[in-house]
Amino acid sequence: MIRGVRGATTVTENTEEVIVSATEELLAKMIEMNEIHPDTVASIFISTTEDLNTAFPAKALRRFDGWTFVPVMCMREIPVINSLSMCVRVMMHWNTTQGQAEIHHVYLKDAKSLRPDLDR
């Protein structure tokens, strides 16, 4: 069955190095906590808030061995008034036998405020 595992983080600067590095940290944590292997991943969507426009955060995934053929798409987050700024969000579609309650969603830095109920 395909399940979604979510993650989000924030950055302090709108630079390629900072965005890609923060996304790499987030993806590594999502992969580690859920023991995800690239051949079990159907696709990954990565969104950024409007204030992040200097990099494609998907570049971070290409730093991981074995993840070359995983389809990744970057997109813009909906610009909701008073929403969290400087934020990168990830939705990974993953083939697993784990139940919904067993999946570890990852929220780092100021993004912890998005889903405090899922912060384990």
Active site residue 76: no
Catalytic one among 6, 32, 50, 120?
Answer: 6
Active site residue 89: yes
Active site residue 3: no
Catalytic one among 62, 63, 76, 102?
Answer: 62
Active site residue 77: yes
Active site residue 74: yes
Closest-CA residue to 92 (of 63, 65, 58, 66) = 58
Residue 74 contacts residue 57 (beta carbons within 8 Å): yes
Active site residue 120: no
Tokens of 120: 């384990």
**Tokens 């109920």 — which residue?**
117
Catalytic one among 3, 24, 25, 74?
Answer: 74
| Residues tagged active-site | 6, 62, 74, 77, 89, 107, 115
